[in-house]
Chain A
């Protein structure tokens, strides 16, 4: 059974960094594209980044150059490194899995419950 569990949220000062984790079980991260999606308080859902099964990465313009997506295949965990945080990065961050192996199109089939990042001085 697929399970995704995010962690790493909390209160962070503007300009600081934080690393989010998404522990995956029930499948191998290396075979699937994995995404981060966020939802700011009272706002809609915003796609943040994708890690392709072959290691390629892609980012939303709003986070490009500040956020880095990665994985550790040995412990089947996805990461999102958040740097130079601003107030506008305050959101619940979700990880989401692609439905099919070896295909990255944004067809999510499983999501985690999310972890909240609050950027505040």
Chain B
């Protein structure tokens, strides 16, 4: 199975800050990666697919980049509503696998 190493595991930032989360794959996964946001008790929400394509309805402050084995999720200007846990997930090969998550908090 493909392993995804996500960092940091937690992050505290101020409103308006730029935030970046990274995800490293154990092998080349081209651009087959999702980024999603998960708030407690809610359905996980896909933000980015195919590494850099913004899901419809997702604010443009979210962006994704990378290819091969190194990927990033950035929030250009952190908002209070962005408090959540963020995950990367690969779909280059079944089974789909996930990063360990990044818990984002407001300072």
Contacts and interface: CB of A to CB of B under 8 A. Distances in A.
Interface of A: 4, 35, 37, 44-47, 50, 58, 60, 94, 96, 99, 104-114
Interface of B: 32, 34, 36, 41-46, 49, 55, 87, 89-92, 94-101
Nearest to A47: B95
Contacts, number: 62
A96 to B, nearest CB: 8
Contacts of B44: 94, 96, 111
Given A50-B94, A50-B95, A60-B95, 4 more contacts: A106-B96, A107-B32, A107-B34, A110-B43
B101 A35 contact: no
* Interface residues of chain A: helix, strand, loop or mixed (majority): strand
Contacts of A113: 41-43
Given A99-B49, A107-B34, A112-B43, A45 B98 contact: yes
A47 B100 CA distance: 13
21 contacts: A45-B101, A46-B98, A47-B95, A47-B96, A47-B97, A104-B94, A105-B91, A106-B89, A106-B90, A106-B94, A106-B95, A107-B91, A108-B34, A108-B36, A108-B91, A109-B46, A109-B49, A109-B55, A110-B43, A110-B46, A112-B43
Q: Which 8 A-B pairs have the closest CB atoms?
A: A106-B96, A106-B91, A45-B98, A107-B91, A111-B44, A113-B43, A47-B95, A111-B43
